[in-house]
Each structure stands twice: as C-alpha cells, then as structure tokens.
Amino acid sequence: MESLNNLMYGFGIALEPMNIAYVFFGVFAGTIIGMLPGLGPISALALMIPITFAMEPSSGLILMAGVYYGAIFGGSTSSILLNAPGVAGTVATSFDGYPMAKQGMAGKALAIAAYASFIGGTVSIVFLMLVAPLLGKVAVSFGPAEYFSLMVLGLTAVVSLSDKSLVKGLIAAVLGVMISIMGIDLQTGTERYTFGSAHLLDGIDFLVVALGIFALAEVFYILLRGGGGKEAPRNAIGSLKLSRSEVSQIAPPIARSSVLGFFTGVLPGAGATIGSFLGYSMEKRLAKDGHTFGKGNIKGVAAPEAANNAACTGSFVPLLTLGVPGSGTTAVLLGALLIMGVSPGPMMLENRPDVFWGVIASMYIGNIFLLVLNLPLIPLIAKILDMPKPMLLSLILIFCMVGVYGMSFSIFDLLLLLGFGLLGLGMRLFGFPTAPLILGLILGAIMEESMRRALQISGGDWSTFIDKPISMWLLIIAALSLLLPLAKRGLTKMRSPAAS
C-alpha cells in the first residue's frame, strides 16, 4: 500500500503540465536518436546536460530518462528495417527482425517490437517501484567472481547461436573475444592488438563492428548477388495485426525476458545489450521451433526487445538506490543529477522523494507515449522498404557511415567499418555465423577482466569461483546448459534406431 501512496505522489509530480511535456519531448527525441546510429543515448544525454542545468531536478531527470528508454525503444526500428542497429542494445533484435522484414513482414516485426518494448518497460517499472530499495543489495552482491561466471553462462549461448557448424561458431566467438580485448589492457596497461596505432588504444567501438558485420556486409552480399539492379519495388510492409495464436506464442517469451532483462539491468556493467542477448538465447533454447530462430521467428523479436527495455529501466536501480552508475549512460545521468544538486544514493528516497517517485511515475507515462507514438508511425517508417533497391542500399551505406563518423569524427573508424563489412561478407560466404562473434565481443572483455580481477583479489586461488555460492550456481547452470542438449541428442539417437 505504501508504494501505491508513493506512486500517487509520484504521479502528482509527473502529471504537472510541464513534466508531461518533458516526458513527451524526451521519449520523442529518444525514439529519433535510437533510430539513427552514431548519436547514441550517452552522447545525446551529455549534450543535454546544459539544457537541464537550470531545471528542477525531477523535471531534468524525467526528461533525460525519457531520452534513454526512448532510444532503446526506437533502436529496434533500424535493426529490423535495415539490419543496422541504431543502439547497441538492439543488435539481437536484428537476428530475426531483419529476416522478417525481408519476408514482407516488416510491419508485424515492428509492431511486435513495440508491444514487447512496452511490456518489458512497464513490467520492469513495477519491479523498480516495488523492490528497488531491496535490490541495491543484490546489485552489490555481484563481485568479479560472480561476473566471470555470469559471462561464462552467457557464452554457452554460442552453442545455440551457431546453427550448422559448432566449430565455425566457436571460431567466430573466439574472434569476437579477441576483438573485445583490443586496446590498453586495464589490468596491466599493456597494449594488445593495437599495432602501434593510437586509434586502437581504446579498442574498437561495438557499433562499428555491429554495423559493419550486419548492415554493410548485407549491402555487399546483395551487390555480389547482383541484387542491386532493377528489381521491382516490393510491398514489404505487410499487416501490423497479430493473430491470436501469434499473441499466445510471444506472450511467454515477453514475460520471461522482461524479468530476465530487468535483473540483468540491475547488475552494474551488464545492461541492455547483454540482457537482450541472454533473453534471445534463452528463448531459442526453450522454444520447440528453436531451429527457426534467426530466420524470422516472431519470438526472436519479442524476447530481446522485452529484455532490452526491461534492462534499461533496471539500470536505474543502482543509480537511484546506491548512487553508483551501472553503465555509461547512467554515469552521464549521475553527472547531470550532481550538477542539478541532487546526490543519488541510499538517502535519496528520504531526501528527494520527488525525484525518485516522480521519475518512476513518468516512466509509466513515457512508455504509453512511446507505444502511442510508435504504432501509427510504423507504416510510414516501414515505407523505407518500398524504395527501389539501389536507393535502399545507398541509404544503408550512408546510414552506416554517418553513424560511425558521427560517433568519433574519425576517418580511421570508417576504414574499420569497411574492414568489418568485408569480414562479415566473408563469414557469410563461407558459412560462419555472425551472432557468436557479436556475443564474444560483448561478453569477452568483461569475462576476462572479471576473471583476472577475481584472481588478483583471491591471491591467485582459482577456488574463489566455486567458493562463492552465486558464482558456483551460475557455473553449474552453464555446465548443465552445455551438457543437457548433448545428453538429449544422445538419447534421441539411442531411441531412433529402435523406433525405425
């Protein structure tokens, strides 16, 4: 009951006319920012700090939070339509979203993404409201050893993400891990794979790789197949409506991924990208039709979209209850709050309840705005696909290049983009799956850093990974998820001769 009263109090703040305007402006700007690669939520929020400087802290945070979850909401659009993720958190959405668009179901994919985002976002706001103060403790219970084990569990998804050849999937994953550790090693200060270039000292931005391997490689592939020619425009949008059976198909994945995504978001350092991958690979394993994932399965769109929006809201837990940022984006939000004279932390609930509850209430409103704003726009945005192929391909090219250049203003990064485009093309031609590479890229660096950190703390004692209960259970689940499919396959092999 108490949280209900608090929420009413929060709505009192969020429903002030100016604050409604801020929510609307925030989610609208966020949607646009999310669709365009390059200008991610981090830079957008940093650029907004001067605007929010003179605002009431609650209004400022309402506005900036809106931009953040709006961007994650909108990021799926370019993933689905162009295979070019607008923000890192929506890469997994393109695995099934883009194949759906190619099959003339772009409208449906976008609609599913919007519904799943809305539900993921809303479910996690309920969690945020009810259990945020308790969850602070959960967030800090994850130390280096626990993170290592979580990343190991995440990496076991390579098995399910590499369809035909496990060996090729593993090669791709290792390549991804190698790319992830490029730059100055945090533990020793040693340069790794930098080839003496100052441009590589900070490593390679995730979006450069993702845009190259997915979007640019797709352009190259179509050109290579001669598809750039005079192919007639196709009516590619399709219906937005979901049938009853489709709704019942995607409901359980959305529910599971919302919860999973929220808890991933709560952990500092994990966030929307990892959340969406975990959601995707969990559903792929649970689904009976798991082999159709990656070929346009609606569950493959619903799961990562619910998870990344839930994770985005979850990442507010460490920020608001502990005053520590769990991600780059929440670090900028923390900076903005400090400038506005609010220090988030354990005392925030008592000192600034207006900020805490005002933002939570505004998120409910913002998510409704996003749904209402996005659904009618889908047919308009999806018209992009009606363009003649040559124009569409040029558009994707421009999109990738502007996106990458806009992030760093570096010609070097454009060359990297080209390189990854060629790598992606090569992988595709020789039957290497690209998803494991992206997974290795996301998880590799955190896994390695956490492992060495844990060993440094334990004085080189490897048993630290089993001594900590959370870490031990994560490792056990990882081992089971590797062994169970093998055992299952063994069983079916034993049975099938008998059956036939």
Partner 1 sequence: MTAKLPVKHLTLLALPLAAASLATLAQAQDWTPTRSIEFIAPANPGGGWDTLVRTTSRVIQEEGLADQNFAAINVPGGGGAVAWAQIARDSGNPHKLFATSPPIILVPLAGTSRHDHTAFTPIARLITDYSIVLVRDDSPYSDLNELFAAMQENPNLSVGGGSAPGSMDHISIAGLASAAGLNAAEVNYVPFSGGGEAMTSLMGGHVEAVITGAGEASGQLGEGSDIRALGVSAPERMGGALADVPTYQEQDIDYTFDIWRGVMGAPDMSAEAVAYYEDLFAQMLETDGWEQAREQLGWIDAYQNSEEFGDFLDAQKAQFSEVLSDLGLLGQ
- Please, what is the Cα angle at 92 between 86 and 98, to 5 degrees? 75
344 touching partner 1, by CB under 8 A = yes
181 touching partner 1, by CB under 8 A = no
Distance from the first to the final alpha carbon of the chain: 61
Residue closer to partner 1, measured from CB, 51 or 486: 51
Kindly state the smallest distance separating residue 226's Cβ from partner 1, in Å. 39
Looking at 44-52, 160-168, 282-290, 309-317, which segment touches partner 1 (CB under 8 A)?
44-52
Phi and psi at residue 368, to the nearest 5°: -65, -45
User: Which position among 130, 166, 247, 347 is part of the footprint of partner 1 (CB under 8 A)?
Assistant: 347
51 touching partner 1, by CB under 8 A = no
Looking at 65-73, 195-203, 422-430, 471-479, which segment touches partner 1 (CB under 8 A)?
195-203
268 touching partner 1, by CB under 8 A = yes
15 touching partner 1, by CB under 8 A = no
Residue closer to partner 1, measured from CB, 105 or 128: 128
Question: 192 forms bridges with which residues in the sheet?
Answer: 183
The Cα 44–Cα 51 span in angstroms is 11
Q: Which two tokens stand for residue 327?
A: 């991600």
Phi and psi at residue 192, to the nearest 5°: -125, 130
How many H-runs (helices) and E-runs (strands) does the chain carry? Answer: 23, 2
Q: Which two tokens stand for residue 325?
A: 């940022």
Kindly state the smallest distance separating residue 288's Cβ from partner 1, in Å. 39
340 touching partner 1, by CB under 8 A = yes
184 touching partner 1, by CB under 8 A = yes
Nearest alpha-carbon partner for 238 in 80, 21, 78, 115: 80
The Cα 156–Cα 152 span in angstroms is 6
356 touching partner 1, by CB under 8 A = no
Q: Which DSSP category does 235 fall into? A: -
338 touching partner 1, by CB under 8 A = yes
Looking at 72-80, 279-287, 340-348, 492-500, which segment touches partner 1 (CB under 8 A)?
340-348
411 touching partner 1, by CB under 8 A = no
* DSSP track, 261-277: HHHHHHSTTTHHHHHHH
265 touching partner 1, by CB under 8 A = no
User: Which position among 120, 326, 403, 421 is part of the footprint of partner 1 (CB under 8 A)?
Assistant: 326
Nearest alpha-carbon partner for 481 in 161, 145, 144, 96: 161
What ranges in 142-216 are assigned the alpha helix state H? Answer: 144-155, 157-161, 166-180, 206-210
45 touching partner 1, by CB under 8 A = yes
466 touching partner 1, by CB under 8 A = no
Residue closer to partner 1, measured from CB, 376 or 459: 459
Show the site string, 305-324: x = touches partner 1 by CB under 8 A, - = not: -------------x---xxx
Residue closer to partner 1, measured from CB, 456 or 492: 456
Q: Which two tokens stand for residue 107?
A: 């409208």
198 touching partner 1, by CB under 8 A = yes
For the chain, what is the largest distance between any 2 Cα atoms, rounded to a whole number of angstroms?
A: 76
Kindly state the smallest distance separating residue 202's Cβ from partner 1, in Å. 6
As a three-state string, the secondary structure of 341-393 is CCCCCCCHHHHCHHHHHHHHHHHHHHHHHHHHHHHHHHHHHHHHHHCCHHHHH
User: Which position among 199, 256, 389, 428 is part of the footprint of partner 1 (CB under 8 A)?
Assistant: 199
Looking at 5-13, 423-431, 449-457, 482-490, which segment touches partner 1 (CB under 8 A)?
449-457
User: Which position among 189, 226, 376, 497 is part of the footprint of partner 1 (CB under 8 A)?
Assistant: 189
Residue closer to partner 1, measured from CB, 258 or 450: 450
The Cα 238–Cα 108 span in angstroms is 7
User: Which position among 98, 118, 142, 420 is part of the footprint of partner 1 (CB under 8 A)?
Assistant: 142
Residue closer to partner 1, measured from CB, 7 or 337: 337
* DSSP track, 67-116: HHHHHHHHHHHHHHHHS--SSGGGHHHHHHHHHHHHTT-HHHHHHHHHHH
Element holding 184 (H helix, E strand):
strand 183-184
Nearest alpha-carbon partner for 451 in 179, 177, 118: 177
Q: What number of other Cβ atoms are within 10 A of residue 202's Cβ? A: 12
Task: Scan for tokens 């604050």, then name that residue.
Answer: 19
Kindly state the smallest distance separating residue 46's Cβ from partner 1, in Å. 3
| Cβ(297)–Cβ(96) below 8 Å | yes
144 touching partner 1, by CB under 8 A = yes
Show the site string, 363-382: x = touches partner 1 by CB under 8 A, - = not: --------------------
50 touching partner 1, by CB under 8 A = yes
Q: Which two tokens stand for residue 245?
A: 């059976």
Residue closer to partner 1, measured from CB, 116 or 336: 336
Residue closer to partner 1, measured from CB, 143 or 228: 143
191 three-class SS: strand
User: Which position among 343, 466, 479, 486 is part of the footprint of partner 1 (CB under 8 A)?
Assistant: 343
Residue closer to partner 1, measured from CB, 334 or 447: 334
Task: Provide the binding-site residues for partner 1, judged by CB under 8 A.
Answer: 42-43, 45-47, 49-50, 53, 139-145, 184-189, 191, 198-199, 201-202, 268-269, 318, 322-326, 328, 331-332, 334-335, 338-341, 343-347, 408-410, 449, 453, 456-459
